[in-house]
Structure 1
Amino acid sequence: MRFLRKSLTGLFLTAVTLGLMFYAGTMVREAVQARMSEEPRVPQARERVFAVNVAPVVFETVTPVLSAFGEVQSSRTLELRAASSGTLIDLHPDFVEGGQVTQGQLLARIDPADAQAALERAESDLLDAQAEQREADRAIVLAEDELQAARDQVALREQALKRQTDLVDRNVGTAAAVETAELALSSAHQAVLSRRQAVATAQSRIDQAATKLKRAQIALEEARRHLANTEIRAEFSGTLSDVTVVAGRLVSTNEKLAQIVDADALEVVFRVSTQEYARLLDDDGKLRRADVTVTLDVFGTNIQARGQISRESAAVGDGQTGRRLFATLDAPRGFKPGDFVTVSVQEAPLARVARLPATAVNAAGEVLVIGEEERLATAVVTVLRRQGDDVLIRARDLEGQEVVAERTPLLGAGIRVNPLRSEGAPAPQEPEMLELTEERRAKLRAFVEGNTRMPEEAKARILSQLSQDKVPASTVARLEERMGG
């Protein structure tokens, strides 16, 4: 009886096991058939939309600014050199590095003892020359008087000879008396010649005295000039630099003592390319007096001054390119010679140009235009100038349109974008919400709870969303897409 009960129990369990296995096999077969009979579920592809910053194309008249680097220098710079040699005395307290001097101010003096002695000797020589001239003038007067007296003697001797000749003709006189008169007349003529020679000598003495006086005057002027050269004065108001002397030093002729720089007559010299130089020429091919702005950046504090282009260099220079220009500064306050500055030159105005960010144009001169349905289209523009981070372009049929301000390799023609305008980014839209049935909600919860690869934080967040009355449509679509995969 006991054996029969155990046998029936074993048979019953075997029958149940076989039935369950058959039922399981049937379910697997039906599931496979149902799966194979279903159409494949392909996730719906969605177009990717890029958010881009856009800039409007507005044509206007713009004055381009040419930027270059230059150096400030003084147009009036004078080297102070010693005109004579000697010991430096009477040095002015302002004769130091950076000293401010005024025009005509006595800065230093070279020992004038030798120059003063030379001046006194020249004055003495001038007095001697003047005395010699006066003596020569008196001598010529005496010589002329003696000549006149000799001529009077000749007249008297001629009358005496005539009288003796008349006596001989009347047979009253003698031949000896006539001969005596003739000899006396000859002696008188000889005396006239001697007096004429004396007058000529006196006239020559006058010429020599005049020459000597002129030489004495020249020597006196030279001595005065040498004495004046012992004083070193400022030719114009300015600042001293490169001072190399002190009081008591022995200096030689033409030795450099210092340098005067006129801080109010500053100019800036800068170099531009040949292409930029061509844009600064007027219709006649001459350099325009364009306005410039000079900026000195001193640790974030900008010192600025305005001026105008004044001239250009005559030659390019060995090993140089472009053109070297000079600009005068109107009020160069705060600038010093040698400052390295930035020069901004205003070019001629350009009509009907648009200013765009430099990142909006590629190397081929193309921009991306926002077209219909906010899709991108390519347009070709002409880049006229580059102004820092911007460019000035000229193009047709772009008036009032919008272009992409910042190009990226992901953008191209035909791509749909979400424009972000300068007024501000568009307000974020509210996510679409769905009301789920209990069955659909249970399937999603079961999928999330059974997913072993999902982080616990993400699981908790998604389960919290699924427990709400309305669930974000994006979350539901993402879960169902994964469930279908």
Structure 2
Amino acid sequence: MRFLRLSLMGLFLVSLTLGLMVYAGHLVYSAVQARMNDEPSLPQRRERVFSVNLVEAHLGTQTPLLTAYGSVESRRTLEIRALTGGMIVDLAQNFENGGRVRRGQLLARIDPAEAQFTLERAESGLTDARDEVREASRALDLAGQDLEAAEIQAELQQRAFQRQLDLQERGVGTSAAVETAELVAAQSNQAVVSRRQAEAAADARVAQAQTQLARARTAYAEAEKRLDDTQITAEFSGTLRAVAVVRGRFVSANEKMAVLVDPRALDVAFRISTGQYARLLDEDGELTRAPVRIQLEAYGENIETTGHITRDSASVAEGQTGRLIFARMDEPDGFKPGDFVTVEVTEPPIENVARLPATALGADGTVLALSGEDRLRVLEVTLMRRQGNDILVRGDGLDGAEIVAERSPLLGPGIKVRPLRAEAAEQEAAADLIELSEERRARLRGFVQTSDMPDAMRTRLLAELSERRVPTSTVERLERRMGG
């Protein structure tokens, strides 16, 4: 009985399991059929909107700045050389590297003993030549007087001879007397010729003495110059560098002793491309005297000055390109030859251009402008200049348009955007300025006035500290240097 009950229970469980499996298969089959027969339901899509920063373009006249890099050079650099050889017996106290000298100051003296002896010998020779000229002049004067007396005597003898001829014609005189008078007259004429030769010799002696005097004067001037060459003076006020001599050293003629540099006559030489050079030419093809601004960054401090272009290089050096331009500094305080500086050249103004961020220009030379319904459209522009992070462009429909400041590959014509306009620019700029208390302002001004810095930088900092609101960066920089 128990066996039958257990058998029936097992058969019931097997039947129930098979029924459940069949039911599960039916459910799976029905779901697959329903999935295959139903239409697919697509999710509803929404248009994507991008946020963009906009800037408003305004056409007007812009003055481009050409940025280049160059080095400071001195227009007046003089090599100080020994004009004669000898031992240096005297040297200026400030004849050293970095020493400042004045125009006409005695820098060094070479032993003048030999030159002094030569000068004294030349002076003696000059005295002898002058005495010879005086003696020759007196001899010439005496020779002239002797010639005059001989001519008078010859004239008298000629009249006596003529008188004997007259007496002979009247039959009173004799032939012997006539011949005697004629002989005496001939001797007198011979004496005149001799006196003339003596006068010519005296005249030649005077000319020779004059020549000797000129030579003696030349020798004296040369000896005097050699004596002057033992003293080396400064041709202009400046600073010495490359000093290579000391007192007691023997120098040879034309040996380099030092280099004198004029710190007030400084130029800056910088190289630009040929295209940039063409923009600096006037209608006649001459280089314009465009104003420049020169900056030297030194440990966080900027030394600035102004200037103007004066000339360009005569030729292009081998292996170089572009043009080498020279600009003259107006106030070279703080600058030294060899400084590497940044030069900003003010180019001629350009009309009908707009200043935009450089990121607004696409690779295809277009910009994206905001149109109706906050969608973008393409504007073709012509790039005129690049100005750091900005560009100067020109194009139709650009005036007054709102331009996307930062291009992205996701942006294009017809894209809907959410415009973001820079309305708080002035507030951000004002945030960089702070107001100082009187005590803090006086402390900063005292530090600037007593610190060792160029006059141009001191003037600029004092001007900033005199304003009601002072740049935060200036205050922080000065307090760091003060240690506060």
Alpha-carbon displacement from aligned partner over 1:59-82 (angstroms, at most 9, x marks no partner) = 222110011111110111111111
Note the C-alpha offset of 1:399: 2.1
Report if aligned partners of 2:52, 2:420 keep a CA contact under 8 Å in 1. Answer: yes
SS at match of 1:414: coil
Q: Supply the distance in 2 between the matched residues of 1:148 and 1:35 (Cα, whole angstroms).
A: 159
Aligned to 2:480: none
Cα distance change on mapping 1:305 and 1:11 into 2, 3 Å: closer
The one-letter code of the counterpart of 1:370 is: L
**Within 5 A, what are the aligned runs for 1:220-231?**
220-231=220-231
* Contact preservation (8 Å) 2:379, 2:397: no
Q: Which residue of 2 aligns with 1:402?
A: 402
Please report how far the alpha carbon of residue 340 of structure 1 lies from its aligned counterpart in structure 2 after TM superposition. 1.3
Judged with a 3 Å threshold, the aligned counterparts in structure 2 of structure 1 residues 41 and 80 are, in CA distance, closer, same or farther, namely same
CA deviations 1:106-139 (Å, max 9, x no partner) are: 1011111121111111111111111111111111
In the aligned structure 2, how far is the partner of 1:84 from the partner of 1:204?
39
Q: Which residue in 2 is equivalent to 1:363? A: 363
Change (3 A) 1:196 1:375: same
Counterpart-to-counterpart distance in 1, 2:331 and 2:251: 38
Post-superposition shift, 1:162?
3.9
1:254 Cα deviation (Å)?
1.5
Distance 1:116 1:18 in 2: 141
Residue in structure 2 matched with residue 263 of structure 1 by the alignment: 263
Give 1:147's aligned residue. 147
The residue that corresponds to 1:437 in the other structure is none
Question: CA 1:168–1:60 in 2, change beyond 3 Å: closer, same or farther?
Answer: closer
- Inter-CA distance 250–45: structure 2 relative to 1 (3 Å threshold): same
DSSP-derived class of the 1:42 partner: coil
Q: Secondary structure at 2:91's aligned position in 1?
A: coil
**Alpha-carbon distance, 1:58 to partner:** 2.0
Residues 1:100 and 1:24: Cα distance change in structure 2 (over 3 Å): same
Secondary structure at the aligned position of 2:326 is classed as strand
Q: Which runs of 5+ in 2 are unaligned?
A: 426-484
Letter paired with 2:341: V
**Conserved? CA contact 2:57–2:356, under 8 Å:** yes
**Which has the larger displacement, 354-363 or 259-268?**
354-363
Partner of 1:193: 193
Sort the Cα spacing of 1:87 and 1:6 in 2 relative to 1 into closer, same or farther, 3 A: same
Deviation at 1:18, TM superposition (A): 8.9
Residue number in structure 2 paired with 1:124:
124
How far 1:23 sits from its partner (Å)? 12
Deviation at 1:85, TM superposition (A): 1.3
Match of 2:389 in 1: 389
The letter for the 1-side match of 2:299 is F
Amino acid at match of 1:221: A
Matches within 5 A, 1:17-416: 28=27, 32=31, 40-169=40-169, 172-416=172-416
CA-CA distance at 1:407 after TM superposition: 1.6
Aligned counterparts of 1:29 and 1:187: Cα–Cα separation in 2: 175
CA distance in 2, matches of 1:417, 1:270: 45
Q: Distance in 2 between matches of 1:200 and 1:4?
A: 185
CA distance in 2, matches of 1:26, 1:145: 168
> Partners in 2 of 1:19 and 1:224 — Cα distance?
140
Q: Equivalent residue for 1:471?
A: none
Give the counterpart letter for 2:138 in structure 1: R
* SS of residue matched to 2:293: strand
**Structure-2 separation of matches of 1:30 and 1:87:** 121
Distance 2:25 2:329 in 1: 101
State the alpha-carbon separation in 2 of the partners of residues 298 and 91 from structure 1.
35
Q: Residue 42 of structure 1: CA displacement?
A: 2.9
> How big is each residue's C-alpha offset from its partner over 1:36-76, in whole Å with a ceiling of 9 and x where there is no partner?
78654432222222222222222222110011111110111
Residues of 2 paired with 1:386 and 1:203: CA distance?
86
**Segment of structure 1 superposing worse, 345-354 or 176-185:** 176-185
* Closer/same/farther in 2, CA of residues 194 and 373 from structure 1, 3 Å limit: same
Shift of residue 326 of structure 1? 0.9
Shift in CA distance, 3/113, structure 1 to aligned 2, threshold 3 Å: closer
Structure 1 unmatched ranges of 5 or more: 426-485
User: How much has 1:86 moved relative to structure 2?
Assistant: 1.3
| Residues 160-208 of structure 1 deviation map (CA, whole Å, 9 limit, x = unaligned) | 3344445545555543333332222222221111111111111111111
CA gap of 1:131–1:25, structure 2 versus 1, over 3 A, is closer
Once residues 37 and 169 of structure 2 are traced to their aligned partners in structure 1, the CA distance between those partners, rounded to angstroms, is 192
- Bigger shift: residues 349-358 or 416-425: 416-425
Between the aligned partners of 1:332 and 1:206, the Cα distance in structure 2 is: 62
Secondary structure (helix, strand or coil) at the match of 1:423 reads coil
The 5-angstrom pairing of residues 433-452 of structure 1 reads: none
Q: Which residue of 2 aligns with 1:452?
A: none
Compute the displacement of 1:373 (Å): 2.3
Q: CA deviation at 1:88?
A: 1.6
Rounded to whole Å, the distance in 2 between the matches of 1:340 and 1:5 is 113
Q: TM-score when scaled to structure 1?
A: 0.80
SS of 1:90's equivalent? strand
Report deviation, 1:220.
Answer: 1.5
* Shift in CA distance, 375/192, structure 1 to aligned 2, threshold 3 Å: same
Q: Distance in 2 between matches of 1:102 and 1:4?
A: 137
Residue 6 (structure 1) shift: 6.6
Identity %: 53
Amino acid at match of 1:395: G
- How far residue 145 of structure 1 moved from its aligned partner, in angstroms, is 1.5
Aligned partner of 2:481 in structure 1 is none
- Closer, same or farther: CA 29–287 of 1 in aligned 2, 3 Å: closer
- Rate the CA distance shift 1:27–1:198 in 2: closer, same or farther, 3 A: same
Q: How many residue pairs get matched?
A: 424
Q: Which residue of structure 2 lines up, in the alignment, with residue 477 of structure 1?
A: none
Q: Which has the higher Rg, Structure 1 or Structure 2?
A: 1
SS of alignment partner, residue 223 of structure 2: helix
Q: Tell me which residue corresponds to 1:417.
A: 417
Task: Give the deviation of 1:155 after TM superposition.
Answer: 2.8
